[in-house]
């Protein structure tokens, strides 16, 4: 697929394990953070978001943690499944135009 | 029921040609975007329009000209295509500048 040969940071996990994908963001003024999932050949798909007045938010099988002190964001996926295999991007935004700035992406490879 | 759609999905063309990519969203959103994703999967915003008004223009060459005939459409015209324009171009839309952005499937442009 499109991800073959890419030199993205890669996280390889066994099916059923929990996954943690980390992201460092750059702008301390950012107040909105989003995680996107991009499967091979498709567009980024919204997973979960969090605003800067929170430090944790949970969705279905996913949890986002925000540590503003060290400008760190993480995505936890519980009971990882083969369908979770994709590139995961964190994104930050803030300011008048709310421009989204994307991180470099992490390739999650789930081994059956 | 595609929410954000783009045409064409693939575009192969010669250097120096002029081409257009079209984007339509049926989500009722008032804000639309164009992003470029390079071969390393780096995703960067190019333009955003809110209610047909240009909000973000990220130092993109003048050869790129977005046009928004109405709130549901944002097209991208590229003049004098160069090799470096080869990339995947994604359209996205949101409700308001701070709303969650939903992405289209992408247009894979290859300039020969």
A9 vs B contacts (CB less than 8 Å): none
Residues B79-112 pLDDT 10s = 999 999 999 999 999 998 888 999 999 999 999 9
With tokens 């930050």, the residue in question is A92
pLDDT of residue B94: 94
Domain borders along chain B are: 4-99
Map residue A42 onto helix, strand or coil: coil
pLDDT of B55 > 90? The answer is no
Confidence category of residue A4, pLDDT binned at 50, 70, 90: low
Q: Which DSSP state fits B100?
A: P
pLDDT of residue A5: 55
B98 vs A contacts (CB less than 8 Å): 32, 93, 98
Specify whether domain B4-99 bears CATH 3.40.50.460. no
Q: Which tokens is B3 given? A: 């929410």
Among chain B residues, the shortest Cα distance to A37 is held by B103
A15–chain B nearest CA distance, Å: 25
Map residue B83 onto helix, strand or coil: helix
Q: Which of A5, A31, A53, A100 to mutate to test the interface with B (most CBs of B within 10 A)?
A: A100
Domain borders along chain A are: 10-111
Between CA B80 and CA B75 the distance in angstroms is: 17
pLDDT of residue B1: 59
pLDDT of A76 > 80? The answer is yes
Q: What is the CB neighbour count within 10 angstroms for residue B70?
A: 9
Nearest alpha carbon to residue B92 among B22, B31, B26: B31
Chain A: residues touching B (Cβ < 8 Å): 3, 6-8, 32, 34, 36, 38, 41-46, 49, 87, 89, 93, 96-102, 104-105
What is the CATH code for A10-111? 2.60.40.10
Q: Which DSSP state fits B3?
A: S
Highest mean pLDDT among A37-46, A95-104, B46-55: A37-46
A104–chain B nearest CA distance, Å: 6
Between CA A98 and CA A10 the distance in angstroms is: 29
pLDDT of residue A26: 85
């Amino acid at each position: 697929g499109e991800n073959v040969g890419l030199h993205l940071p890669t996280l390889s996990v066994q099916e059923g394990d929990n996954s943690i994908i980390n992201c460092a963001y750059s702008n301390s003024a950012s107040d909105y953070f989003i995680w996107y999932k991009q499967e091979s050949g498709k567009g980024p798909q919204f997973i979960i978001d969090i605003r800067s007045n929170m430090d944790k938010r949970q969705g279905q099988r996913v949890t986002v943690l925000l540590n503003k002190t060290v400008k760190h964001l993480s995505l936890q996926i519980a009971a990882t499944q083969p369908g979770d295999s994709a590139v995961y991007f964190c994104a930050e935004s803030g300011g008048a135009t709310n421009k989204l700035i994307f991180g470099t992406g992490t390739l999650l490879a789930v081994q059956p | 029921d595609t929410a954000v759609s783009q045409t064409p999905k693939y575009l192969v063309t010669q250097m120096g040609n002029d081409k257009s990519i079209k984007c339509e969203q049926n989500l009722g959103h008032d804000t639309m975007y164009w992003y470029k994703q390079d071969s390393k999967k780096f995703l960067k915003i190019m333009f955003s329009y809110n209610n047909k008004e240009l909000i973000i223009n990220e130092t993109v060459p003048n050869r790129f000209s977005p046009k928004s005939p109405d709130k549901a459409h944002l097209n991208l015209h590229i003049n004098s295509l160069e090799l470096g324009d080869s990339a995947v171009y994604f359209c996205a839309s949101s409700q308001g500048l701070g709303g969650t952005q939903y992405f289209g499937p992408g247009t894979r442009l290859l300039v020969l």
